[in-house]
Amino acid sequence: MQVSTRTISIIFFFIFSILLVWLFYTNYMNKDNEIRLIPNDLSLVTLGQNIYSENCASCHGVDLEGQENWQKRDDEGYLPAPPHDETGHTWHHPDEYLFLMTKYGIEKIIGKKYLNNMPAYKDILTDKEIIAVLSFIKSKWPNQIQEIHDNINVRSKLN
């Protein structure tokens, strides 16, 4: 029995897809299959910095400083982009929440309409790229804030 080229291609694609998924989960998820940021992985953080510069810095600032008056809604009801440095609230949320909010957007997370200008990145960035950006952001927080954030992650897993 002779196997067609198309069949071989489909099998190869299937095996390759499984391998990619396995690599993602073994590298960027912990043993409980939860999203985790890796702020000490230099290559991941460098990738994240480049992606942040291209996709995020125009609103959230080159130095993660956010827009002025970020806690006050504008005349149309929108909040300016918040800072992602230690002065903002990004570090108050666990890794998984940050990932899901970046990937799917705030409206999907809270389940209702919410005025905001932040796009959902599910069709723009890969999961690895989102984790890279978030890892870059976390790498810029002071050590004490990173430790607090690590504890937030631990507490979020207990709930």
Residue 11 has what pLDDT? 61
Same domain membership, residue 100 and residue 142:
yes
Same domain membership, residue 104 and residue 123:
yes
pTM given for the model: 0.78
Task: Kindly state the percentage of the chain with pLDDT values over 70.
Answer: 79
Same domain membership, residue 119 and residue 51:
yes
Instruction: Taking residues 134-152, report their average pLDDT.
Output: 97
Same domain membership, residue 22 and residue 39:
no
Q: Which DSSP symbol is given to 118?
A: P
pLDDT, one tens digit per residue, over 54-73 is 999 999 999 999 999 999 99
Counting runs of H as helices and runs of E as strands, what totals does the chain give? 7, 0
Same domain membership, residue 50 and residue 28:
no
- CA 95 to CA 131: how far, in whole Å? 9
Same domain membership, residue 80 and residue 19:
no
pLDDT at 95 over 70: yes
CATH code of 115's domain: 1.10.760.10
pLDDT at 30 over 50: no
The total number of structural domains that make up the chain: 2
- What is the separation of C-alpha 86 from the centre of its chain, rounded to a whole number of angstroms? 17
Same domain membership, residue 22 and residue 70:
no
- What is the separation of C-alpha 70 from the centre of its chain, rounded to a whole number of angstroms? 20
Same domain membership, residue 20 and residue 73:
no
Q: Which residue segment(s) compose the domain that 98 sits in? A: 35-158
Same domain membership, residue 52 and residue 112:
yes
Same domain membership, residue 86 and residue 13:
no
Same domain membership, residue 109 and residue 81:
yes
Task: Kindly state the percentage of the chain with pLDDT values over 90.
Answer: 69
